[in-house]
């Protein structure tokens, strides 16, 4: 059986493949590389309290949008 072309797969398809083939290290590393390349996260320092989220409105907004779209 030949391996799929991980570079041509979407992030979502690659994630599904990795979850279905948990022992496939090549697929896992391709997935991590894709996550890193797309860089869709927001970096911020560790929070000391829930109120610290008030300092990061763009982060809160992104979480709300993702939550709404997953509902």
Q: How do residues 18-39 score in pLDDT, each as one tens digit?
A: 999 999 999 999 999 999 898 7
pTM (two decimals): 0.58
- CB–CB of 29/6 below 8 Å? no
For the chain, the domains span 6-38, 44-71
Give Cβ neighbours of residue 6 (< 8 Å, ≥ 6 apart).
Answer: 14, 17, 26, 27, 30, 31, 34
1: pLDDT confidence band, cut at 50, 70 and 90?
A: low
pLDDT at 11 over 70: yes
């Amino acid at each position: 059986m030949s391996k799929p072309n991980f570079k041509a797969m979407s992030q979502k398809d690659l994630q599904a493949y990795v979850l279905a083939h948990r022992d496939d290290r090549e697929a896992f590393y391709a997935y991590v590389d894709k996550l890193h390349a797309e860089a869709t996260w927001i970096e911020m320092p560790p929070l000391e309290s829930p109120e610290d989220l008030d300092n990061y409105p763009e982060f809160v907004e992104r979480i709300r949008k993702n939550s709404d779209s997953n509902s």
